[in-house]
Amino acid sequence: MLALVTGATGFIGANLVETLNQRGWAVRALHRPSSSLKALAGLHYESAIGDVTDPASLGAAMAGVDVVFHVAAVADYWRSDAGKMMRVNVGGTRNVLQAALDAGVRRVVFTSSCASLGRPPFGQALDERAQFNLQPHEFPYGYSKHLAEQVCREFVARGLDVVIVNPAVVFGPRDVNLISSSLIVEAAQRIIPFAPPGGVSVVDVADVCAGHIAAAERGCTGERYILTGENLTYRQLFDIVADVVGRSRPRLVLPAVLFKAVAPAVDFLHRGLGCKLPVSGEQVRFAAETFWFDPSKARHELGLTTRPVAETIARTYAWYVAHGYINVDRRS
Protein backbone atom coordinates (compact mmCIF):
# COMPACT_ATOMS: atom_id res chain seq x y z
CA MET A 1 0.00 0.00 0.00
CA LEU A 2 1.21 3.50 -0.85
CA ALA A 3 0.08 6.28 1.47
CA LEU A 4 0.38 10.01 0.91
CA VAL A 5 0.66 11.94 4.17
CA THR A 6 -0.03 15.66 4.01
CA GLY A 7 1.36 17.65 6.91
CA ALA A 8 4.06 15.00 7.25
CA THR A 9 6.55 17.39 8.83
CA GLY A 10 4.18 18.17 11.72
CA PHE A 11 3.58 16.37 15.00
CA ILE A 12 0.85 13.87 14.09
CA GLY A 13 2.02 13.62 10.48
CA ALA A 14 5.58 12.61 11.37
CA ASN A 15 4.38 10.05 13.90
CA LEU A 16 1.98 8.68 11.30
CA VAL A 17 4.88 8.24 8.87
CA GLU A 18 6.71 6.31 11.59
CA THR A 19 3.70 4.08 12.29
CA LEU A 20 3.19 3.42 8.57
CA ASN A 21 6.88 2.47 8.31
CA GLN A 22 6.38 0.00 11.14
CA ARG A 23 3.29 -1.47 9.43
CA GLY A 24 5.09 -2.01 6.13
CA TRP A 25 3.38 0.72 4.10
CA ALA A 26 5.23 2.74 1.48
CA VAL A 27 4.99 6.43 2.35
CA ARG A 28 5.04 9.61 0.31
CA ALA A 29 5.37 12.74 2.44
CA LEU A 30 3.96 16.00 1.14
CA HIS A 31 5.85 19.07 2.29
CA ARG A 32 6.80 22.53 1.11
CA PRO A 33 10.33 23.20 -0.18
CA SER A 34 10.99 25.33 2.90
CA SER A 35 9.62 22.86 5.45
CA SER A 36 11.91 21.67 8.22
CA LEU A 37 12.27 17.88 8.08
CA LYS A 38 13.37 17.66 11.70
CA ALA A 39 10.29 15.77 12.87
CA LEU A 40 10.88 13.12 10.17
CA ALA A 41 14.44 12.31 11.26
CA GLY A 42 15.25 8.62 10.89
CA LEU A 43 12.09 7.74 8.96
CA HIS A 44 11.64 6.25 5.49
CA TYR A 45 9.59 8.18 2.95
CA GLU A 46 9.53 9.61 -0.55
CA SER A 47 9.34 13.40 -0.62
CA ALA A 48 6.59 15.07 -2.63
CA ILE A 49 7.08 18.81 -2.88
CA GLY A 50 3.79 20.66 -2.68
CA ASP A 51 1.42 22.75 -0.64
CA VAL A 52 -2.22 22.05 0.19
CA THR A 53 -3.04 25.68 -0.65
CA ASP A 54 -1.60 25.19 -4.18
CA PRO A 55 -3.89 22.84 -6.13
CA ALA A 56 -1.46 22.58 -9.07
CA SER A 57 1.17 21.00 -6.81
CA LEU A 58 -1.03 18.12 -5.64
CA GLY A 59 -1.63 16.10 -8.80
CA ALA A 60 1.82 14.52 -9.03
CA ALA A 61 1.80 13.77 -5.30
CA MET A 62 -1.39 11.71 -5.72
CA ALA A 63 -0.09 9.52 -8.56
CA GLY A 64 -0.36 5.82 -7.69
CA VAL A 65 -1.53 6.51 -4.14
CA ASP A 66 -3.91 4.06 -2.44
CA VAL A 67 -4.76 6.09 0.67
CA VAL A 68 -4.34 9.78 1.47
CA PHE A 69 -3.95 10.73 5.11
CA HIS A 70 -4.80 14.42 5.08
CA VAL A 71 -3.19 15.64 8.29
CA ALA A 72 -1.97 19.10 7.19
CA ALA A 73 -3.50 21.94 9.20
CA VAL A 74 -2.77 25.04 11.19
CA ALA A 75 -3.01 23.50 14.66
CA ASP A 76 -1.18 26.13 16.74
CA TYR A 77 -4.17 28.43 16.48
CA TRP A 78 -2.99 30.73 19.28
CA ARG A 79 0.03 31.65 17.15
CA SER A 80 -1.83 32.06 13.83
CA ASP A 81 -4.38 34.43 12.34
CA ALA A 82 -7.84 33.21 11.45
CA GLY A 83 -7.39 33.98 7.75
CA LYS A 84 -4.44 31.64 7.39
CA MET A 85 -6.28 29.00 9.38
CA MET A 86 -9.23 29.10 7.00
CA ARG A 87 -7.01 29.00 3.90
CA VAL A 88 -5.14 25.93 5.11
CA ASN A 89 -7.71 24.05 7.16
CA VAL A 90 -10.72 24.59 4.92
CA GLY A 91 -9.40 25.61 1.50
CA GLY A 92 -6.49 23.18 1.74
CA THR A 93 -8.86 20.34 2.57
CA ARG A 94 -10.97 21.13 -0.48
CA ASN A 95 -7.85 21.13 -2.68
CA VAL A 96 -6.62 17.79 -1.32
CA LEU A 97 -9.98 16.10 -1.71
CA GLN A 98 -10.40 17.38 -5.25
CA ALA A 99 -6.94 16.12 -6.19
CA ALA A 100 -7.71 12.73 -4.60
CA LEU A 101 -10.99 12.50 -6.50
CA ASP A 102 -9.27 13.40 -9.77
CA ALA A 103 -6.54 10.83 -9.16
CA GLY A 104 -8.93 8.00 -8.27
CA VAL A 105 -7.53 7.55 -4.76
CA ARG A 106 -9.26 4.66 -3.00
CA ARG A 107 -9.76 6.34 0.39
CA VAL A 108 -8.95 9.56 2.25
CA VAL A 109 -8.61 9.72 6.02
CA PHE A 110 -9.12 13.29 7.17
CA THR A 111 -7.58 14.41 10.46
CA SER A 112 -10.13 16.70 12.05
CA SER A 113 -10.20 17.45 15.78
CA CYS A 114 -12.44 17.09 18.78
CA ALA A 115 -12.52 20.89 18.58
CA SER A 116 -15.01 20.50 15.71
CA LEU A 117 -17.52 18.90 18.09
CA GLY A 118 -18.05 22.08 20.07
CA ARG A 119 -18.45 22.73 23.79
CA PRO A 120 -19.57 19.84 26.04
CA PRO A 121 -21.82 20.45 29.03
CA PHE A 122 -19.61 20.77 32.12
CA GLY A 123 -18.50 17.36 33.34
CA GLN A 124 -20.02 15.47 30.40
CA ALA A 125 -18.37 13.85 27.35
CA LEU A 126 -19.47 14.43 23.76
CA ASP A 127 -19.61 11.72 21.13
CA GLU A 128 -19.63 11.82 17.32
CA ARG A 129 -23.24 13.00 17.17
CA ALA A 130 -22.29 16.42 18.57
CA GLN A 131 -22.40 19.50 16.36
CA PHE A 132 -20.28 22.63 16.65
CA ASN A 133 -22.16 24.93 19.04
CA LEU A 134 -19.85 27.94 19.42
CA GLN A 135 -19.80 31.21 17.55
CA PRO A 136 -17.01 31.27 14.91
CA HIS A 137 -15.19 34.10 16.71
CA GLU A 138 -15.25 32.16 19.99
CA PHE A 139 -13.12 29.34 18.60
CA PRO A 140 -11.86 29.94 15.04
CA TYR A 141 -9.80 26.73 15.02
CA GLY A 142 -12.75 24.54 15.99
CA TYR A 143 -14.92 26.37 13.46
CA SER A 144 -12.33 25.79 10.70
CA LYS A 145 -12.35 22.05 11.44
CA HIS A 146 -16.15 22.05 11.48
CA LEU A 147 -16.17 23.65 8.02
CA ALA A 148 -13.51 21.22 6.77
CA GLU A 149 -15.71 18.31 7.84
CA GLN A 150 -18.56 19.81 5.82
CA VAL A 151 -16.21 19.85 2.82
CA CYS A 152 -15.52 16.16 3.44
CA ARG A 153 -19.22 15.41 3.37
CA GLU A 154 -19.58 17.31 0.09
CA PHE A 155 -16.96 15.07 -1.48
CA VAL A 156 -18.51 11.92 -0.04
CA ALA A 157 -21.70 12.95 -1.85
CA ARG A 158 -19.62 13.26 -5.03
CA GLY A 159 -18.33 9.70 -4.67
CA LEU A 160 -15.04 10.10 -2.79
CA ASP A 161 -14.45 7.66 0.07
CA VAL A 162 -13.58 9.86 3.08
CA VAL A 163 -13.36 8.85 6.74
CA ILE A 164 -12.96 11.49 9.48
CA VAL A 165 -10.96 11.04 12.68
CA ASN A 166 -11.18 13.46 15.59
CA PRO A 167 -8.17 13.38 17.93
CA ALA A 168 -8.38 15.07 21.32
CA VAL A 169 -5.31 16.69 22.95
CA VAL A 170 -2.33 14.69 21.75
CA PHE A 171 0.99 14.12 23.53
CA GLY A 172 4.04 12.23 22.36
CA PRO A 173 7.47 12.34 20.72
CA ARG A 174 8.38 14.34 17.61
CA ASP A 175 6.38 17.41 18.67
CA VAL A 176 9.23 19.62 17.52
CA ASN A 177 7.02 22.70 17.21
CA LEU A 178 5.85 22.38 20.82
CA ILE A 179 2.12 22.18 20.22
CA SER A 180 0.48 20.34 23.13
CA SER A 181 3.66 18.75 24.49
CA SER A 182 5.00 22.20 25.40
CA LEU A 183 3.32 21.64 28.78
CA ILE A 184 5.89 18.96 29.57
CA VAL A 185 8.85 21.12 28.59
CA GLU A 186 7.52 24.05 30.61
CA ALA A 187 6.86 21.88 33.66
CA ALA A 188 10.38 20.47 33.47
CA GLN A 189 11.84 23.98 33.43
CA ARG A 190 9.85 25.47 36.32
CA ILE A 191 7.26 24.56 38.93
CA ILE A 192 3.67 25.12 37.79
CA PRO A 193 2.08 26.70 40.88
CA PHE A 194 -1.60 26.28 39.99
CA ALA A 195 -4.01 24.36 37.77
CA PRO A 196 -7.09 25.61 35.91
CA PRO A 197 -10.49 24.38 37.13
CA GLY A 198 -11.52 22.67 33.88
CA GLY A 199 -10.52 19.46 32.18
CA VAL A 200 -9.20 17.97 28.97
CA SER A 201 -9.28 14.74 26.98
CA VAL A 202 -5.81 13.26 26.40
CA VAL A 203 -4.39 10.64 24.03
CA ASP A 204 -0.99 9.30 22.96
CA VAL A 205 0.12 10.17 19.43
CA ALA A 206 1.00 6.52 18.75
CA ASP A 207 -2.59 5.52 19.56
CA VAL A 208 -3.88 8.33 17.35
CA CYS A 209 -1.77 7.06 14.46
CA ALA A 210 -2.96 3.50 14.98
CA GLY A 211 -6.48 4.92 14.88
CA HIS A 212 -5.75 6.60 11.55
CA ILE A 213 -4.62 3.32 10.01
CA ALA A 214 -7.61 1.47 11.47
CA ALA A 215 -9.86 4.13 9.94
CA ALA A 216 -8.20 3.53 6.57
CA GLU A 217 -8.68 -0.21 6.88
CA ARG A 218 -12.03 -0.53 8.69
CA GLY A 219 -13.72 2.86 8.96
CA CYS A 220 -17.10 3.55 7.35
CA THR A 221 -17.31 6.13 4.59
CA GLY A 222 -18.45 9.54 5.81
CA GLU A 223 -18.25 8.59 9.49
CA ARG A 224 -16.42 10.36 12.32
CA TYR A 225 -14.31 8.57 14.94
CA ILE A 226 -13.17 10.24 18.16
CA LEU A 227 -9.60 9.25 19.03
CA THR A 228 -8.91 9.80 22.72
CA GLY A 229 -7.88 7.97 25.84
CA GLU A 230 -8.64 9.55 29.22
CA ASN A 231 -10.77 12.48 30.35
CA LEU A 232 -8.90 14.29 33.13
CA THR A 233 -9.26 17.44 35.15
CA TYR A 234 -6.36 19.82 34.62
CA ARG A 235 -5.38 19.14 38.22
CA GLN A 236 -5.09 15.43 37.47
CA LEU A 237 -3.09 16.07 34.28
CA PHE A 238 -0.76 18.59 35.91
CA ASP A 239 -0.16 16.20 38.82
CA ILE A 240 0.85 13.44 36.38
CA VAL A 241 3.18 15.78 34.49
CA ALA A 242 4.75 17.06 37.72
CA ASP A 243 5.38 13.52 38.95
CA VAL A 244 7.01 12.49 35.67
CA VAL A 245 9.34 15.51 35.40
CA GLY A 246 10.21 15.49 39.11
CA ARG A 247 8.52 18.73 40.14
CA SER A 248 6.13 19.58 42.96
CA ARG A 249 2.47 19.22 42.13
CA PRO A 250 0.41 22.42 41.77
CA ARG A 251 -0.85 23.62 45.13
CA LEU A 252 -3.93 25.49 43.93
CA VAL A 253 -6.84 25.15 41.55
CA LEU A 254 -7.82 28.68 40.62
CA PRO A 255 -11.52 29.59 40.39
CA ALA A 256 -13.28 29.63 37.04
CA VAL A 257 -14.37 33.24 37.48
CA LEU A 258 -10.74 34.35 37.37
CA PHE A 259 -10.18 32.75 33.94
CA LYS A 260 -13.38 34.27 32.60
CA ALA A 261 -12.27 37.69 33.84
CA VAL A 262 -8.75 37.49 32.38
CA ALA A 263 -9.72 36.15 28.94
CA PRO A 264 -10.95 39.50 27.47
CA ALA A 265 -7.68 41.19 28.40
CA VAL A 266 -5.73 38.40 26.68
CA ASP A 267 -7.95 38.80 23.61
CA PHE A 268 -7.25 42.53 23.51
CA LEU A 269 -3.49 42.11 23.85
CA HIS A 270 -3.39 39.30 21.28
CA ARG A 271 -5.82 40.53 18.64
CA GLY A 272 -6.12 44.23 19.39
CA LEU A 273 -2.47 45.08 19.98
CA GLY A 274 -0.83 42.14 18.17
CA CYS A 275 1.17 41.05 21.21
CA LYS A 276 2.86 37.67 21.00
CA LEU A 277 1.51 35.69 23.96
CA PRO A 278 2.00 32.05 25.00
CA VAL A 279 -1.77 31.58 25.20
CA SER A 280 -4.86 32.96 23.45
CA GLY A 281 -8.06 34.27 24.95
CA GLU A 282 -9.99 31.16 24.00
CA GLN A 283 -7.41 28.94 25.71
CA VAL A 284 -7.77 30.95 28.92
CA ARG A 285 -11.55 30.92 28.65
CA PHE A 286 -11.79 27.20 27.88
CA ALA A 287 -9.43 26.29 30.74
CA ALA A 288 -12.40 26.78 33.05
CA GLU A 289 -14.47 24.18 31.15
CA THR A 290 -14.29 20.40 30.71
CA PHE A 291 -13.63 19.44 27.10
CA TRP A 292 -14.22 15.71 27.45
CA PHE A 293 -15.04 13.22 24.71
CA ASP A 294 -16.26 9.63 24.37
CA PRO A 295 -14.16 7.23 22.23
CA SER A 296 -16.59 4.30 22.46
CA LYS A 297 -17.39 4.26 18.76
CA ALA A 298 -13.71 4.08 17.75
CA ARG A 299 -13.08 1.38 20.32
CA HIS A 300 -15.99 -0.69 19.00
CA GLU A 301 -15.65 -0.15 15.23
CA LEU A 302 -11.91 0.46 14.80
CA GLY A 303 -10.54 -1.55 17.70
CA LEU A 304 -8.94 1.57 19.18
CA THR A 305 -6.81 0.91 22.24
CA THR A 306 -5.05 3.59 24.28
CA ARG A 307 -2.31 3.55 26.86
CA PRO A 308 -2.43 5.26 30.28
CA VAL A 309 -1.73 9.00 30.26
CA ALA A 310 1.12 8.58 32.75
CA GLU A 311 2.89 6.27 30.29
CA THR A 312 2.36 8.78 27.48
CA ILE A 313 3.76 11.68 29.50
CA ALA A 314 6.77 9.60 30.57
CA ARG A 315 7.72 8.59 27.04
CA THR A 316 7.20 12.14 25.77
CA TYR A 317 9.43 13.52 28.51
CA ALA A 318 12.10 10.91 27.76
CA TRP A 319 12.09 11.91 24.07
CA TYR A 320 12.48 15.59 24.88
CA VAL A 321 15.38 14.87 27.24
CA ALA A 322 17.07 12.58 24.69
CA HIS A 323 16.78 15.23 21.96
CA GLY A 324 18.06 18.15 24.00
CA TYR A 325 14.82 20.08 24.54
CA ILE A 326 15.14 19.55 28.29
CA ASN A 327 18.49 19.74 30.07
CA VAL A 328 18.00 17.85 33.31
CA ASP A 329 21.35 19.16 34.66
CA ARG A 330 20.38 22.84 34.32
CA ARG A 331 16.85 22.97 35.61
CA SER A 332 16.00 25.92 37.86
| Sequence ranges of the domains in the chain | 2-172+202-229+292-308
**Residue 325, CA distances (Å) to 116, 181, 279, 319 in order:** 31, 11, 20, 9
Q: In what order do the strands lie in the sheet with 2-6?
A: 46-49, 26-31, 2-6, 67-70, 107-111, 162-167, 224-227
Residue 132, amino acid: F
- Is this prediction's pTM over 0.75? yes
Nearest Cα residue to 303 out of 230, 223, 213: 213
Cβ-Cβ contacts under 8 Å for 122 (sequence gap 6 or more): 289, 290
C-alpha span between 267 and 190 (Å, rounded): 26
Per-residue pLDDT of the chain (332 residues; tens, 9 = 90+): 999 999 999 999 999 999 999 999 999 999 999 999 999 999 999 999 999 999 999 999 999 999 999 999 997 755 667 788 999 999 999 999 999 999 999 999 999 999 999 999 999 999 999 999 999 988 899 999 999 999 999 999 999 999 999 999 999 999 998 888 889 998 998 888 999 999 999 999 999 999 999 999 999 999 999 999 999 999 999 999 999 999 999 999 998 888 888 877 877 776 666 666 667 777 888 889 999 999 999 999 999 999 999 999 999 999 999 999 888 765 55
User: Looking at the domain 2-172+202-229+292-308, which fold is it?
Assistant: Rossmann fold (3.40.50)
